[in-house]
Amino acid sequence: MPDRLRPLPDRPLLLVEPASSTEARTIVLADLHLGLGSTKDRPAGPPEAHPEIFAGELVAAARAHRASTVLIAGDVKHPILGTPAALRPIVFRFFGDLLAAGLEVEVVLGNHDVGLVPHLPREVTVHPATGVVHGDVGVFHGHRWPSNAVLRSRRLVTGHLHPGFRLAPTADDPSGKRRCWVRVELPPPLPRPRRRRRHAELRARELVVLPAFNPLAGTEALNRARPARGRSFLYHRFLSRGVARAYLLDGTDLGELPTMGAEPRPTGAAGRSRRGQ
């Protein structure tokens, strides 16, 4: 029986429930972006993205759902290169709050996490950007190709895309952009020529793209005519291979994402003419 992946209602948090009741539960999140919106006078950022509030939310969720581990799937901090001096104690204190609550904490490095490791408490377990496997779930950030161990997992979880959906703007939400989950049903892998077997076959039948945890992080409106596909190989190598559906944080099913599917190949005379150009 596979591990269960359960998004927590109204929160950008994924609960991994092992098939065995004796194994520990894990809460997975991505794109924390500590320091986003910070200023010289307010190095921790605005109130709605304050690290102390984030830590409290994670501790409360872990206790409510009996999780013993918090796994951050990349982009712990916002500055891409290095960790500014003013942000270092903020990062350390954030992780200290999680550890003080008795949680085990793990980090998969993201593209924003250059220079992060020296400023983490030594009790934090750090995994490379190629990801880590928990039970039968492979977790990676999404800017680097996952490891063979991750590719062989039954299900995959990633971040990096900051998925969102553009709805009609309102007075409370003038931009109309809402964070969302993406779930992709992947088909069985196609046989590949022996000479191309540099990486393991993708065995997963499901991929979950996490919404950005930080509410101030930008969102990619996936229901646009042309989402920014150049942002990551995830579009071409994962999302376009299967059937992708989007869900708001409250669980509302937004339906299939047609922009995620591979573009149809031309057929007939038009196709032959195009190939001959």
The pLDDT score that the predictor gives to residue 263 is 43
Query: In the chain, what percentage of residues exceed pLDDT 70?
Result: 86
Higher local confidence (pLDDT), 236 or 139:
139
Distances (CA, A) of 189 to 122, 186, 208, 238: 40, 8, 18, 11
Whether the per-residue pLDDT at 277 is higher than 50: the answer is: no
User: For the segment 227-244, what is each residue's pLDDT rounded down to a tens digit?
Assistant: 555 567 888 888 888 899
Higher local confidence (pLDDT), 143 or 218:
143
Distance, CA of 153 to CA of 151 (rounded, Å): 5
Q: What is the mean pLDDT of the chain?
A: 86
Question: 137: closest CA among 22, 27, 11?
Answer: 27
The pLDDT score that the predictor gives to residue 271 is 40
Q: Are 138 and 156 in contact (CB under 8 A)?
A: yes
Distances (CA, A) of 60 to 11, 50, 180: 12, 16, 22
Tell me what the mean pLDDT of segment 83-94 comes to: 94
Token look-up 């101030």 returns 216
Judged by average pLDDT, the poorest of 99-108, 204-213, 250-259 is 250-259
Judged by average pLDDT, the poorest of 41-45, 75-79, 140-144, 196-200 is 196-200
Tell me what the mean pLDDT of segment 97-121 comes to: 97
CA 63 to chain centre: 22
- Packing angle, helices 88-100 and 51-64, rounded to 10: 20
Whether the per-residue pLDDT at 84 is higher than 50: the answer is: yes
Whether the per-residue pLDDT at 136 is higher than 70: the answer is: yes
Cβ within 8 Å of residue 174, ≥6 positions away: none
Tell me what the mean pLDDT of segment 69-80 comes to: 95
Whether the per-residue pLDDT at 185 is higher than 70: the answer is: yes
The pLDDT score that the predictor gives to residue 192 is 63
Whether the per-residue pLDDT at 265 is higher than 50: the answer is: no
Higher local confidence (pLDDT), 231 or 142:
142
Residue 253's CB is within 10 A of a number of other CB atoms, namely: 10
Residue 46 main-chain phi, psi, to 5 deg: -70, 165
The pLDDT score that the predictor gives to residue 259 is 56
Q: Please give the full DSSP string across 109-155, using - where no structure is assigned.
A: --TT-BT-GGGS-TTSEEE-TT-EEETTEEE--SSSPPPHHHHTSSE
The pLDDT score that the predictor gives to residue 225 is 60
Tell me what the mean pLDDT of segment 142-163 comes to: 94
Q: Are 222 and 160 in contact (CB under 8 A)?
A: no
| DSSP bridge pairs for 233 | none
Whether the per-residue pLDDT at 51 is higher than 70: the answer is: yes
The pLDDT score that the predictor gives to residue 144 is 93
Distance, CA of 259 to CA of 252 (rounded, Å): 19
H/E element, 262:
none
Whether the per-residue pLDDT at 262 is higher than 60: the answer is: no
Q: Output the six-digit token pair for 90.
A: 């903020």
H/E element, 55:
helix 51-64
